[in-house]
Amino acid sequence: MDFVLHNGSGRLCRRGCGKQDRQLNTYDWLADVPRATGGIETDYVEVQFKNTRKGYYRNTNGLPLQKGDIVAVEAMPGHDVGVVTLTGRLVPLQMKKANLKPDALGRRIYRKARQNDLDRWEEAKGREHDTMIRARQIALNLNLDMKIGDVEYQGDGGKAIFYYIAEGRVDFRQLIKVLAEVFKVRIEMKQIGARQEAGRIGGIGPCGRELCCATWMTSFVSVSTGTARYQDISLNPQKLAGQCAKLKCCLNYEVDAYVEAGKSLPSKELTLETKEAVYYYFKADILAGSVTYSTDKVQPAGLVTISGRRAFEVIDLNKRGIKPDSLGEGTTNVPGRTADLLEQESVTRFDRSKGKGDGKPAKKKKKKNKKKKPDHLNEE
């Protein structure tokens, strides 16, 4: 069975598709491509576990594995159960992308999961939520500044990984002892970031789409407030922060285009001098290539919008000691009054009449009743 692409450019191979687990899924584009003579052969298989955890294991027994097969793999101690997500020639490329060397990976695949393996695996997964709630209470009693976001049991139930979030370093040695005594398993603590937790939980962003960290993002790049400044975005923490309480990852998507477009605009520190007045930088529409100048440094007054090309022309004239009569044709003059920067947040902004620029409600015109002349005057 093949999956036809909507654009009609080809087909998707059924063997290349697998379980769609958000950003963890990898499509095998080489699944239906014949192997070349002398091609690279590998016995490594990519296996996926809970959350964003993946591993690469050797198929030393020569098992006929395909994407979606549930296998029992080697673990320390015991064995773990996971799902095969990739086989074949793409596995070495994925390992190279993750900076993993085959020589350092000595773990292997035992077998395809049997029914008793699946039963123990399901039983272990059923205890994860209750274990997380109990572990949070234990950490609270020990006055630890940390949040346990998730718990993952190993396939045989002999080990548990506790994913936690903390601002700084946490001494959880006492916590590990208490958890080991309470749950009778081997304990491993793994710290994750706020973005990783948001990707694990998922949700809908302000754009109306599912969160990027929960769909396709596999690595998280740091986001700084400088990206918002390059794009002339208001530094409002409530609008710039995502559901993880960190700066939105999408601020990095278009910053390169804004930086490149900003090179065609003059610096904010430069002023333009004309015979009329001295103009100071107020704001810029980077993608449109226009700059707005004000006659006042502090508040918007006498605003004039010109193109970046015209701004450089005036700057060049000022360097030669020439002051033009005005900023040139094609300018848009705004009356010299103080602008209300919070006007868009006004609750009554929809109550204003259409076509009125002063914001005052339209006055109804009173109809004047004309008095008719008497009939005897009309006769005369």
Per-position DSSP letters for 5-44, written without gaps between them: -TTSS-EEEGGG-----GGG----TTTTSPPPTT-----E
pLDDT of residue 331: 42
Residue 270 pLDDT exceeds 80? yes
Tokens standing for 318?
């000022």
Across residues 30-34, what is the average pLDDT? 64
Question: What sign does the CA torsion over 68, 73, 79, 85 have?
Answer: negative
Region 278-299 average pLDDT: 88
Spell out the domains of the chain, with CATH numbers in brackets. Answer: 16-113 (no CATH), 122-192 (3.30.300.20), 212-261 (no CATH), 264-333 (no CATH)
How far apart CA 79 and CA 62 sit, in angstroms, is 19
Averaged pLDDT for residues 212-230: 84
Q: Which helix (H) or strand (E) holds 79?
A: strand 79-86
| % of the chain surpassing 70 pLDDT | 74
Instruction: Identify the H or E element spanning 97.
Output: helix 90-97
pLDDT at 284 over 50: yes
Mean pLDDT across the stretch 73-79? Answer: 88
113 pLDDT band, cuts 50/70/90, is very high
* pLDDT in the model for residue 122: 92
Q: Is the pLDDT of residue 200 over 70?
A: yes
Q: How many residues does the chain have?
A: 380
Chain segment 332-346, per-residue pLDDT in tens: 444 444 555 555 556
DSSP characters over 125-185: HHTHHHHHHHHHHHHHHTT-S-EEEEEEE-TTSSEEEEEEE-SS----HHHHHHHHHHH-S
Q: How confident is the model at residue 21 (pLDDT cuts 50, 70, 90)?
A: low
Q: What is the arithmetic mean of pLDDT over 162-186?
A: 90
Q: What is the mean pLDDT of residues 15-28?
A: 54
For residues 107 and 121, what is the distance between their CA atoms, to the nearest angstrom?
20
59: burial class by Cβ within 10 Å (0-12, 13-18, 19+)?
Answer: middle
**Dihedral pair phi/psi, residue 119, rounded to 5°:** -65, -45
**42-51, 321-330, 369-378: which has the minimum mean pLDDT?**
369-378
The pLDDT of residue 26 is above 90: no
The pLDDT score that the predictor gives to residue 149 is: 87
Q: How many CA atoms lie within 13 A of 264 on its CB side?
A: 14
Is residue 337 within 8 Å of residue 287, measured between CB atoms? Answer: no
φ, ψ at 158 (rounded to 5°): -90, -5
User: Lowest-confidence range among 32-41, 100-109, 124-133, 171-180?
Assistant: 32-41
Query: What's the DSSP call for residue 241?
Result: B
Strand segments (E) across 300-342:
304-307, 332-333
